[in-house]
């Protein structure tokens, strides 16, 4: 629901008018050749009209199975949709009759699915294979002006299946480079990853709204298909500058309540603290901090760090300041120590948030 609403908002902001809850009742051609459409608002019960050059009627699709006389062959169909009922092997109620594709009940109506299901069926029938079609975690894209790509469970499906307390959603509002150069509005460019909350935080779904969403989704679909965890995605190096790198930088969760807007060329969301060491450590994990911590201003580096809280940050490094090369240093979200940060770090650190930034080294 969230993603479709954002697609609608983007199209509406560019001049598309959406009439929700309205059903057309008649179309009449006017003397000048234009078409007058009358519709009824289901909320108010009132009728309204509009004049248009072209009317496109999206009536949907209905399977043409009645003409096949399937009942005479003993093939069962759904009484509601007239689609053919099959099992996991694509077999109908008649063992030697199979069905694949859009005509099958409960299958996604996507061409690539029909192609793969057909290929696997042939391999089982004539090639000695036992591989079945996996209909879970199928990637797809809606090619709206601002593309929407998705794979896996939606946020609503994940909550319904696992419970709100067991689901973590990481998200970000980002601005693609091509939008920045062209000065385009990127307010609806958005990405979210739906995960299980318990470690190792299995990725349940990915939803991407932005340029080339189909290209972005296709690659991450493989990872989700292979059972990727949130930690594994976060350990994946992004390609800069691309839209897909936004996926591997998702650090802000909805549960935290922090602003997920990505700011600056470093691509961090407001409310994040980042540190990178060039001498003692190979890297440092990026962690979320509470918004109330952002009280510092552009002052002396060490003073700016102290401005984040009443006490300096505590780093999970040894007091000697030199953990083994290549090890990880994680910034904690508690401020209980009173000694300077510099006693822990013997390499430059960089902290940034929106328009405030400072560099500190011992």
Catalytic residue set: 240
Q: Could you identify the residue written with the tokens 């699709």?
A: 61
In order of 16, 56, 288, 301, the CA distances from 340 in angstroms are 56, 67, 21, 12
Report which of 19, 16, 57, 50 is spatially closest to residue 35, judged by C-alpha positions.
50
Q: Is 353 helix (H, G, I), strand (E, B) or coil?
A: strand
Residues in the chain, how many?
Answer: 362
Cβ-based neighbour number of residue 286 at 10 Å: 17
Report which of 252, 254, 281, 264 is spatially closest to residue 346, judged by C-alpha positions.
281
Measured in degrees and rounded to the nearest 5, phi and psi for residue 103 equal -80, -5
Report which of 362, 275, 274 is spatially closest to residue 321, judged by C-alpha positions.
362
Q: Are 92 and 98 in contact (CB under 8 A)?
A: yes
Q: Are 189 and 216 in contact (CB under 8 A)?
A: no
CB pairs under 8 A, 24+ apart, for 27-32? Answer: 27/55
d(CA 233, CA 220): 9
């Amino acid at each position: 629901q969230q993603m479709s609403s954002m697609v609608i908002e983007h199209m509406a902001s560019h001049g598309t008018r959406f009439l929700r809850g309205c059903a057309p009742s008649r179309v009449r051609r006017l003397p000048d050749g234009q078409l007058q459409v009358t519709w009824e608002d289901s909320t108010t019960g009132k009728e309204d009209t509009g004049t248009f050059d072209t009317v496109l009627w999206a009536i949907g699709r209905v399977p043409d199975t009645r003409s096949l006389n399937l009942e005479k062959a003993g093939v069962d169909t759904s009484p509601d949709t007239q689609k053919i009922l099959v099992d996991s092997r694509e077999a109908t109620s008649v063992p030697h009759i199979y069905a694949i594709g859009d005509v099958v009940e409960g299958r996604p109506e996507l061409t690539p699915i029909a192609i793969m299901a057909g290929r696997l069926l042939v391999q089982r029938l004539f090639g000695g294979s036992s591989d079945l079609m996996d209909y879970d975690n199928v990637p797809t894209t809606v090619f709206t002006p601002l593309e929407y790509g998705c794979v896996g469970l939606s946020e609503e499906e994940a909550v319904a299946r696992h419970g709100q307390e067991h689901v973590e959603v990481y998200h970000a509002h980002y601005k693609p480079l091509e939008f920045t150069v062209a000065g385009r509005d990127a307010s609806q460019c958005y990405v979210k990853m739906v995960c299980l909350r318990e470690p190792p935080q299995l990725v349940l779904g990915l939803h991407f709204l932005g340029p080339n969403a189909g290209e972005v989704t296709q690659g991450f679909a493989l990872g989700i298909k292979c059972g990727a965890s949130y930690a594994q995605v976060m350990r994946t190096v992004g390609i800069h500058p691309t839209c897909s790198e936004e996926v591997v930088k998702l650090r802000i969760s909805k549960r935290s309540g922090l602003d997920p807007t990505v700011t600056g060329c470093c691509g961090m969301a407001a409310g994040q603290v980042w540190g990178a060491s060039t001498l003692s450590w190979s890297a440092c994990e990026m962690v979320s901090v509470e918004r109330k911590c952002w009280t510092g201003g552009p002052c002396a580096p060490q003073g700016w760090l102290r401005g984040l809280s009443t006490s300096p940050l505590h780093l999970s490094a040894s007091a000697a300041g030199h953990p083994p090369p290549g090890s990880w240093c994680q910034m904690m979200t508690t401020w209980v120590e009173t000694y300077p940060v510099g006693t822990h770090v013997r390499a430059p650190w960089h902290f940034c948030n929106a328009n405030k930034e400072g560099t500190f080294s011992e």
